[in-house]
Amino acid sequence: MKAQEKLFQPVHISFEEGTIEQYLDTIQSQIGTGFVYSSAITPHRQVTITKGVYKVNYLLDSLFSEQSVLYIERRGQIILSPQSPSSIENDKVIVKGRVTGRKGQVIPFATIYIQNKSLGTISNAEGVFKFVLPSRFTNDTLTITSLGYKNKQISPDQYLTNELEVKLEVENYVIRDVIVRPVNPVDIVKGSFNARGKNYATKPTVMNAFFRESSKQDENYISLSEALIEIKKNSYTNEKSDLIRFVKGRNGTNITQSELVNLVVEGGLYNGLRLDVAKYGSYFYNEQLESECDYKLHKTIIYGNRQTYVIKFVAKEGIKYPGYNGTLYIDAESLALVRAEFELGRDGIRYARSLLVKKTPRGYRVKPVHARYEVEYRFYNNVWNLHYARSDFGIKVKKVRGKENKGFSCDFSSTSEFVITGISDTTKLKIPFRELSKPSDVLVEQVKNTPGNFWLEDNVILPEEPLLSTIRKLQLEGELPKDDAMMTKDD
C-alpha cells in the first residue's frame, strides 16, 4: 500500500475512552505507520470515541476536534503539526522559531529558506521569525544561515511539530583548497562588477516582498508603515530601472503629544530597491572606483559554505559629495557580490542633509547623525538574487527658540527594510503607470490600510517587542487593523 494512502486505511477501535496517545498507538499497531508529534497536541488528554471501524483521517479529526492539527505523511510516518484553522484551510504551514548562538546570544536577520526554492524570510532583530510555506513543500529541508555561522538544516519532523529553538555554531575559518585570485582588492572589486552578467539574473523576474518602515523619537515609536509589494525586476545586464507595485499594507501614527516630531526622511519602496548595489552600482562599486575610495582586503571567510573575500573601503578625503565607508563580501570563486554594508562617513554626513530629510516641520532644525545601509543576496536557481536590504537613519532635531517657546530637542530615527519572499520567472506582470512607485513617494502617504487579518498567510519580518507593543497600542486605538498573525514566539 502506498504511504499516501495510510490516512484512508480503516482501523478498528475496541475501547471507548482513553488518551490521545493510546489511540495513536492503536492506529500505529494496525497500519504499521508511526506518528511524529510534540506535547503541543496534548497527547495525555482524555477523549471518548464510540467503538467501531474508522478511516485514519476521520479518527484523527475526532481526536483533535478541539484543536487544529495538520496531518502530513512523510517517509512512512504521519507528522501531526499544530496549525491555525486558516492556514490549514489555505493549504499552508506556519513555522515559528528563534535563532541564537550556542551561548544563547540573539542572532538577528538570519536567513530562513527552503533549499532550492525561492521562498524565504529573515529573523527580526531579536532573532524571532515566522515562515509561511505551502504544504506541498513540507517534505523539504529548512535551511537557516547567518554571516559568521555554519548553515543549519532542519528536517520537517522538527519544524512541523515544534516552535524552533535554532542554535547556530560559529564558523571556524579554516580555508581549504584556497582559490587563487589577485591580492589587489581593487582588482577583486572591479572583477566583481564586471562579472555581474554571469552571477545575477539575465532574464526578467517577478519578486514578491515584504517592506516595513518605522520611525522613533527617542525611544518612542511614532509611525509605522508595512506593505506587500511586487517587483518587476529587469535583468542585471539591463540598465532599465526595476518597477514596483504596492499590493496591500497598513500604516499608523502614534503622534498624540504636541512635542512629538513627524519628519519625513529618505526611504520608500523606490529608494529601498536602489540599495541593490549589484544592479545599480555605486561610486564604491564600479569600473573606476579607485579614485573614490581606498580598499583593503581585510580577511577571507566562509560565508554560506563558500570562500568569501571581506574587503573594507573608506571614502577618500576631500570629495565634495556624500562619501561612504563600508565592507563588501565577494564570493571568491564567482566574484559575485553577496553582501554589502556601508554608511556615510563623518564628512559625508555634512553633505547629506537635503538627501536624507525630505520634509522638516516648521520651526525645527535637523542634523543627520548617521546613515547606515546593508544589502544581501541569496544563491538560488544557479544565480545570486536580491534577498534583503535595510537602511537606518539617525537625526538630531532641535526646535528653534522663540519668544513663546523654550526650545526642544530629541533624537529621531527611521528604519526601512524589505525581504524578498518569493521569485518567479514569469514576465506577464503588467504594472499600470499610475500604480508605479516613484522616487518622490513617501510610504506612510502611499500605503492605505487594508482591512482584515491580511498578514496571516504572508511571509513578513516579525516586529521586535518594543515595536510590537506599539502595534498593539495602535490596534486598540483603531489606528491599525487588527492582525493575529503579527505575533512573536511568546504570544
| CATH code of the domain in which 154 resides | 2.60.40.1120
Q: Give me the percent of the chain exceeding a pLDDT of 70.
A: 77
Cβ-based neighbours of 358, under 8 Å, separated by 6 or more? 264, 265, 266, 442
- Answer whether residue 56 is part of any domain: yes
Say if residue 142 is in the same domain as residue 271. no
- CATH number for the domain harbouring residue 251: 2.50.20
Amino acid, single-letter form, for residue 397: V
Over range 171-196, report the average pLDDT.
76
Cell (9 digits) for 479: 489606528
Q: DSSP E strands: which ranges in 179-292?
A: 205-217, 220-233, 243-253, 264-265
Contact 310, 298 (CB under 8 A): yes
Task: Specify the 3-state DSSP secondary structure of 411.
Answer: strand
Query: In terms of residue numbers, what domain contains 11?
Result: 3-82
Say if residue 218 is in the same domain as residue 253. yes
Say if residue 32 is in the same domain as residue 124. no
The residue ranking higher by pLDDT, 435 or 80, is: 80
Say if residue 58 is in the same domain as residue 113. no
Q: What pLDDT sits at residue 25?
A: 95
Say if residue 151 is in the same domain as residue 224. no
Kind plus residue range of the DSSP H or E element containing 195: none
- Dist CA 274 CA 93 (whole Å): 32
Amino acid, single-letter form, for residue 336: A
- Answer whether residue 443 is part of any domain: yes
Least confident of 162-166, 339-343, 357-361: 357-361
Task: Specify the 3-state DSSP secondary structure of 294.
Answer: strand
Count structural domains, the chain.
3
The band of 376, judged by pLDDT with boundaries at 50, 70 and 90, is: very high
Count other C-beta atoms under 10 Å from residue 33's C-beta: 17
Say if residue 48 is in the same domain as residue 156. no
- CA torsion 400-403-406-410 (nearest 10°) is -20
Q: What pLDDT sits at residue 481?
A: 57
Count other C-beta atoms under 10 Å from residue 165's C-beta: 12
Rg (CA), the chain: 26
Contact 86, 456 (CB under 8 A): yes
The residue ranking higher by pLDDT, 84 or 100, is: 100
- Answer whether residue 178 is part of any domain: no
- Answer whether residue 463 is part of any domain: no
Say if residue 360 is in the same domain as residue 215. yes
Q: What pLDDT sits at residue 358?
A: 63
Give the residue from 23, 53, 82 where a domain finishes: 82
Say if residue 20 is in the same domain as residue 144. no
Say if residue 50 is in the same domain as residue 8. yes
Q: What pLDDT sits at residue 11?
A: 94
- Answer whether residue 471 is part of any domain: no
Q: Is the pLDDT of residue 246 over 70?
A: yes
CA-closest candidate to residue 128, choices 150, 148, 108, 101 = 108
Give the residue from 142, 168, 194 where a domain finishes: 168
The pLDDT tens digits for 49-66 are: 999 999 999 999 999 998
The pLDDT tens digits for 317-353 are: 877 677 889 999 999 999 999 999 999 887 777 766 6
Over range 210-217, report the average pLDDT.
84
Say if residue 256 is in the same domain as residue 293. yes
Q: DSSP E strands: which ranges in 83-173?
A: 92-101, 111-114, 120-122, 128-134, 142-145, 152-154, 164-168
CA-closest candidate to residue 261, choices 365, 353, 350 = 365
Count other C-beta atoms under 10 Å from residue 49's C-beta: 15
The pLDDT tens digits for 116-154 are: 888 899 999 899 999 999 888 888 999 999 988 999 999
- Answer whether residue 259 is part of any domain: yes
Say if residue 330 is in the same domain as residue 419. yes
CA-closest candidate to residue 409, choices 259, 202, 195 = 259
For 93, how many CA atoms within 13 A lie in the half-sphere containing its CB?
Answer: 27
* Greatest CA separation for the chain: 89
- CATH number for the domain harbouring residue 54: 3.55.50.30
Say if residue 434 is in the same domain as residue 408. yes
Give the residue from 133, 168, 203 where a domain finishes: 168
Kind plus residue range of the DSSP H or E element containing 26: helix 20-31
- Answer whether residue 484 is part of any domain: no
**Averaged confidence pLDDT in the chain:** 82
Cell (9 digits) for 303: 560565508
- Answer whether residue 176 is part of any domain: no
Task: Specify the 3-state DSSP secondary structure of 351.
Answer: helix
Report in angstroms the alpha-carbon separations of 172 from 107, 108, 298: 17, 20, 16
- Dist CA 389 CA 141 (whole Å): 25
- Dist CA 208 CA 212 (whole Å): 14
Report in angstroms the alpha-carbon separations of 395 from 44, 258, 356: 56, 19, 9
**Exposed / middle / buried, residue 354 (Cβ in 10 Å: 0-12, 13-18, 19+):** exposed
